[in-house]
Structure 1
Amino acid sequence: MTTALITGATAGLGAAFARRLAKDGHDLVLVARDTKRLDEAAAALRERHGVAVEVLPADLATEDGIGAVEARLRDGGRPVGILVNNAGFGNRGAYLEVPLQAELDMLKVHVEAVLRLTGAAVPGMRERGFGGVVNVASVAAFVPRGTYGASKAWVVSFTQGVLRDLGGSGVRLMALCPGFVHTEFHQRAGMGTGNIPAWAWLRADRVVDEALRDLARGRSVSVPSRRYKLAVALARLLPAGRLGKVSSKAGREY
């Protein structure tokens, strides 16, 4: 089995990826900001699955944080065969209500970190003739939703473009575009979720299972669950303003 590196690995989809990949026998490198939570997660995964788990505290909104993860991915003596670029966050409020620095931090994590970490991981994967990169985006990539949606749209386009450039190399890249998932995402952003219907929620473990199936099938974009596949299809057909108005309100109650 190969080693998988996961960013944002202590909660939500990142933790779900860690559980599933450890269950499958992969050694792990867990990346997040909170050292205490990293150590606790690593200990639990080692005990339950008997895999090697390395922790790498790093804030991907900073140059030092991105640089530390880049260096680990470039370490040819300890190759990483699967990269999950999962770290991300949301900002509460509409454009102009959010401080500019918070928007810039979002672009650092959602765009620059994804660009640089993918660039650090892929050369070794191509040289070895196999590997996989999952870049976590969102169904928000397909509807107008400020900086968050724009950054996730970039992730989808970037992933598809790099995959095309690497055709025939044995390296798979996929953008994962989930809808609302039961995680800490909204709580951390201070967003309410009372206006999100129960049917819209997905379980993190189910999202990860479907994502890994789609990666194995060589798909460039994964949209978990039939309901969100339909939503994305509608988003591509309807005028942008129709779904954008709904999306801009969902999950933004204070």
Structure 2
Amino acid sequence: MNRKTAVITGASSGIGQELARLFAADGYDLIVSARRVERLQQLASELRDACGTAVRIVPMDIAQPGAADALWQVIRDIAPAVDVLVNNAGVGDSGPFALERPEAIERMIQLDISALTLLTRHALPGMIERGHGRILNVASLAGFQPGGPGMSVYYASKSYVLSFSRGIRRELRGSGVSVTALCPGPTRTEFEETAGAQGTLLFYWSRPMEARTVALAGYRAMQRGCGVAVPGLLNKLLAAGARFSPAAIALEVNRFLLAVRR
């Protein structure tokens, strides 16, 4: 029997790495992509030994213009049929927008929005033609918020991912293809350090979930064909509450939580 193939971006650490382990344990062959080739090689070796999984690595920085198209061409050369696409790669930054480096802003938009959108566009025609497929887009609990003063671009990018995923999911009804948005709250990954969020009150007061727990929640929701997955009871309550909180109050709360702890 032919094994299914899953493509995972940002697979070198955190949620993406844990998702790769879950797919491998479930019998999928993998195409994994990230910037750090050494980590991808280590992951591939681990999964081959543990699960007998065929793992192809594609070291690439898809935050660069045109990189998403180039990545998809490599994927098509490896596997003509992709059963699952996981858009996990993402980046964040914190601080007043007026002081953020323009190149950091451009990188966030390119990786969190443009690459995710283009890879989804490339994957869908084949999935629709075959009558089955799964797309898992990693958004954030931030996507339910009206904005995040101090992380304005990041919060906006995750709102886009959530809205985009919901929209195309409705377009695909009846096609056999499902789209799931995974919306974790604070999670124990490298993100809090690379995004500069480690020193904020949000991360100081919260109890981050483990990446494995978040990945498992997203994986199960995707396999069930769910539209949105919010891991953790408290996060579910916060996501539901965001619909009823006045935007002005939510913005003030977020401004306070995203302030740097003194």
The TM-score range, normalised by the shorter chain, is over 0.9
Note if contact 2:31-2:75 (Cα within 8 Å) is conserved in structure 1. no
- Does the aligned pair in 1 maintain the 2:137–2:161 contact within 8 Å? yes
Deviates more, 1:93-102 or 1:54-63: 93-102
Question: Which position in structure 1 is the counterpart of 2:234?
Answer: 227
The alpha carbon displacement at 1:98 in A equals 0.9
Count of paired positions = 254
Partner of 2:35: 33
Instruction: Provide structure 2 residue ranges, at least 5 long, that are not aligned to the other structure.
Output: none
Q: Give the corresponding residue for 2:163.
A: 157
Residues 103 and 147, structure 1, Cα contact 8 Å, conserved in 2 = yes
Please, which of 206, 210, 220 is the counterpart of residue 203 of structure 1? 210
TM-score, with structure 1 as normaliser:
0.93
Distance in 1 separating the partners of 2:98 and 2:200: 24
Deviation at 1:49, TM superposition (A): 1.3
Q: What's the counterpart of residue 175 of structure 1? A: 181
Confirm whether residue 8 of structure 1 aligns to residue 10 of structure 2: yes
1:148 aligns with 2:154: yes
How far apart in 1 are the matches of 2:19 and 2:180?
A: 14
- Once the two structures are superposed, residues 103-152 of structure 1 have per-residue CA deviations (whole angstroms, 9 ceiling, x without a partner) of 11111111111110001111111111111000110011111121111111
- d(CA) in 1 for partners of 2:115, 2:12: 18
Residues 71-80 or 59-68, more deviating? 71-80
Measure how far apart 1:102 and its partner are.
Answer: 1.1
In 2, Cα distance between equivalents of 1:52 and 1:188? 31
Quote the sequence identity (%).
39
Structure 1 runs not aligned, ≥5 long: none
Map 1:63-102 → 2, pairs under 5 A: 63-75=65-77, 77-102=79-104
User: Does residue 238 of structure 2 align to residue 236 of structure 1?
Assistant: no
Which residue, out of 41, 44, 49, partners 1:42?
44
Residue identity matched to 1:234: G
Q: Secondary structure at the match of 1:63?
A: coil
Distance in 2 separating the partners of 1:243 and 1:150: 14
Q: Partner letter of residue 74 of structure 2?
A: R
**Secondary structure of the structure 1 residue equivalent to 2:74:** helix
SS in 2 for 1:103: helix
Normalised TM-score (structure 2): 0.90
The RMSD of aligned alpha carbons is: 1.8
Distance 2:217 2:68 in 1: 28
Which aligned segments of 4 or more residues in structure 1 are displaced greater than 6 angstroms? none
For the Cα contact (< 8 Å) 2:22–2:219, is it kept in 1? no
Q: 1:202-248 deviations in whole A, cap 9, x for unaligned?
A: 11111121112222332211111111010011111011232333334
Structure 2 residue 111 is matched with structure 1 residue 105: no
User: Aligned partners of 2:36, 2:256: CA distance in 1, in Å?
Assistant: 30
